[in-house]
Amino acid sequence: MSNTETAVQQTSAKSGPRTLFVRLGALEAFTWAGLLVGMFLKYVTETTELAVRIFGGLHGFVFLAYCVMAVLVGIDSRWKLTRHATALVAAVVPFLTLWTTVKVERGDWGVEPAWRLRTEQPTGPLERVTATVVRNPVKGVVVILALVAVLFVVLLFVGPPGK
């Protein structure tokens, strides 16, 4: 294997579905921790609501990004609907994304280091959209971040859960 092929494989692994899913899952859990600490400070000690303001918005954005990534990874990995649902529900329960990241890292969920749809022919409409995103990563990231940002702003206007 040439140095160029090795470099391409390493780059693919760093931006591949396994790495991105695990990193976003860990970040989602971290923002959950910040939000829970903030809620404790706001509602139990009644000292400050600053952490809720900071981590509430941050968690909301990371939550949405994790959900989008879970769908893309699931489509690329050919997950069944139950696995998609499990990955998405994990984002709602504090710290459960850490469990999903362990499943992915151990290989239990069949997520490869590199995107399958970067080279394979897509077979349906969802795979075509996913293939477009992973084959044009810069455009894909920009479009996904824009969609997540629009949804985030809409949800900010709607207000937090329970209001």
pLDDT in tens, 34-81: 999 999 999 999 999 999 999 998 999 999 999 999 999 999 999 999
How many CB atoms sit inside 10 A of residue 56's CB?
19
Q: What pTM was estimated for this model as a whole?
A: 0.85
First to last CA, the chain: 58
Q: Are 49 and 40 a contacting pair, CB within 8 Å? A: no
In this prediction, residue 11 has a pLDDT band, given cuts at 50, 70 and 90, of low
pLDDT of res. 2? 53
Q: Are 24 and 66 a contacting pair, CB within 8 Å? A: yes
Q: Nearest CA to 126 among 79, 60, 63, 65? A: 79
* Domain-embedded: residue 47: yes
pLDDT of res. 8? 47
- Three-state DSSP class for 91? coil
pLDDT of res. 14? 79
Q: Are 118 and 132 a contacting pair, CB within 8 Å? A: no
* Domain-embedded: residue 118: yes
* Domain-embedded: residue 98: yes
pLDDT per residue as tens digits for the range 94-123 = 999 999 999 999 999 999 999 999 999 999
Range of the domain at 36: 3-158
* Domain-embedded: residue 149: yes
Residue 157 in this model has a pLDDT that exceeds 70? yes
Cβ-proximal residues to 36 (8 Å cutoff; 6+ apart), any chain: 94
**Distance in angstroms (rounded) separating the CA atoms of residues 20 and 69:** 8
**Distance in angstroms (rounded) separating the CA atoms of residues 109 and 100:** 9
* Domain-embedded: residue 112: yes
* Domain-embedded: residue 25: yes
Cβ-proximal residues to 105 (8 Å cutoff; 6+ apart), any chain: 18, 22
* Domain-embedded: residue 15: yes
Q: Tally the domains of the chain.
A: 1
Q: Nearest CA to 101 among 30, 27, 26? A: 26
* Domain-embedded: residue 163: no
**Distance in angstroms (rounded) separating the CA atoms of residues 117 and 71:** 14
